[in-house]
Structure 1
């Protein structure tokens, strides 16, 4: 027992100094640093498990024989732990994501900052409100969730994203003549990055093997159940500019609507 404690303490001490060396003095970790920190922690855990198993092998064999009668009860009691281990194996074998990827599991979205045999840690991102900003919250997902919820890899959204939003118009007027001018306004806002967007969109199509909507802006008009008109926008833009571009496009629409239908604003 004393020898086991000494071994664990020694390995944890080495891991502490290794992680401290990898982290350095910088305030924000890079993706490579996170990968090496995760490898160091997982590697030290594996070494501890193997060492303790070798050290306690004879005691483990005797214990295994003594608990044969209650093996079923142990499996039931440790079901969640077993699911976490098998979920980790499933993640590793399917290569569904790695450190630095953006993923969505259930209602949680975020960037993977660490994963081990039991859980995956993500830095939460506010994707559901179209902001694409970090919320400052860290979520720890048990690996058993990978059997309950589909894992969506959103890694391509780190650079460019299909940003969707809508504008509701209460008055029923003919909005279709405004569409060409609205598209021209969007082209003006996107001219700085449109060439890069087209190339990146082509890369995503080749990687995914599907025909995506494309990098050009799309506008279509629908009607709600209350009879109001709804103008739907979809733009392909840099993720960090999505929210700002949405505000510019909303401003263009309101100014154009006020100019074309001045009597409706009275």
Structure 2
């Protein structure tokens, strides 16, 4: 007991050494917990990512609290000594303060959680980690209608939440409104092609149409708005140089959107060639 008391007194006297030991201990525990959560799997699940993020954030907060309590006397003395330059410190640390407040804003508004698909400015991706300073996403190629991961990881500071709106695209992980257009240069009457084209589109979507209708109803109830529906839609508009743009929208499983688009384009080209080909 006396040796333990002497050791504690020694560590409290040499706070720098105690600080290093605390950091090493908490880091080791964090690594051990994260290793156990990850296991031997090749791909992380959403639950694993959530618990890994909670472990990292919790260990960081615990470390800050312990160090603050340990160095409280020195911090108070330092605070009194820097009162005259407090404004300069605030200005210099403005970005850090914005990151902290951006994290609080995200948590309070519940705009997204780990595993959600989000769009932030020109970036789209699945959230794989977020902490007090930054958010990390796995980029997804949504702007080209492919809906697959690009392999790139994007990290942006939480201060950007005050600059760009965050769009939660989580419902698109399963089903998506896939909209694409086909441009026709010649000015011909395309409307007679649409009834047969709609029949072919419905045949392509027949195996998942009932599930798509139920999922569409779930999204409508959750969002509280009247969505276009699970049925395919076709409409035409004219371009600036007189060409016709045929817009086709389908509600389909996200992973099949690109393949279905190619099938529908083929059906349209075959029907167009039969009707107007020379």
Shared fold per TM-score greater than 0.5: yes
Output the CA distance in 2 between the equivalents of 1:139 and 1:222: 37
What corresponds to 2:152 in structure 1? 137
TM-fit CA distance, 1:180 = 0.6
**Structure 1 length normalisation: TM-score?**
0.98
What corresponds to 1:29 in structure 2? 44
2:232 corresponds, among 192, 214, 217, to: 217
Q: Establish whether residue 261 from structure 1 lines up as the match of residue 270 from structure 2.
A: no
SS class of match (2:60)? helix
Output the CA distance in 2 between the equivalents of 1:134 and 1:35: 20
1:67 corresponds, among 35, 59, 82, to: 82
Output the CA distance in 2 between the equivalents of 1:158 and 1:18: 29
1:89 corresponds, among 80, 83, 104, to: 104
Output the CA distance in 2 between the equivalents of 1:77 and 1:225: 50
TM-fit CA distance, 1:141 = 1.2
TM-fit CA distance, 1:78 = 0.4
Alignment of 1:112-261 (within 5 A): 112-261=127-276
Q: What per-residue deviation string (whole Å, max 9, x for no partner) do you get for residues 233-254 of structure 1? A: 1110000000000000000000
SS class of match (2:235)? strand
SS class of match (1:138)? strand
Q: What per-residue deviation string (whole Å, max 9, x for no partner) do you get for residues 203-248 of structure 1? A: 0000000000010000001110100011001110000000000000
2:68 corresponds, among 49, 53, 59, to: 53
TM-fit CA distance, 1:55 = 0.2
Q: What per-residue deviation string (whole Å, max 9, x for no partner) do you get for residues 46-77 of structure 1? A: 11000000000000000111111111110110
Q: What per-residue deviation string (whole Å, max 9, x for no partner) do you get for residues 184-206 of structure 1? A: 11000000000000000000000
TM-fit CA distance, 1:262 = 1.5
Output the CA distance in 2 between the equivalents of 1:87 and 1:153: 16
> Which structure would you say has the larger Rg?
2
Output the CA distance in 1 between the equivalents of 2:201 and 2:260: 9
Output the CA distance in 1 between the equivalents of 2:154 and 2:243: 39
What corresponds to 1:76 in structure 2? 91
Aligned residues: 263
Output the CA distance in 2 between the equivalents of 1:90 and 1:235: 35
**Structure 2 length normalisation: TM-score?**
0.94
Q: What per-residue deviation string (whole Å, max 9, x for no partner) do you get for residues 127-148 of structure 1? A: 0000000000000110001000
TM-fit CA distance, 1:35 = 0.5
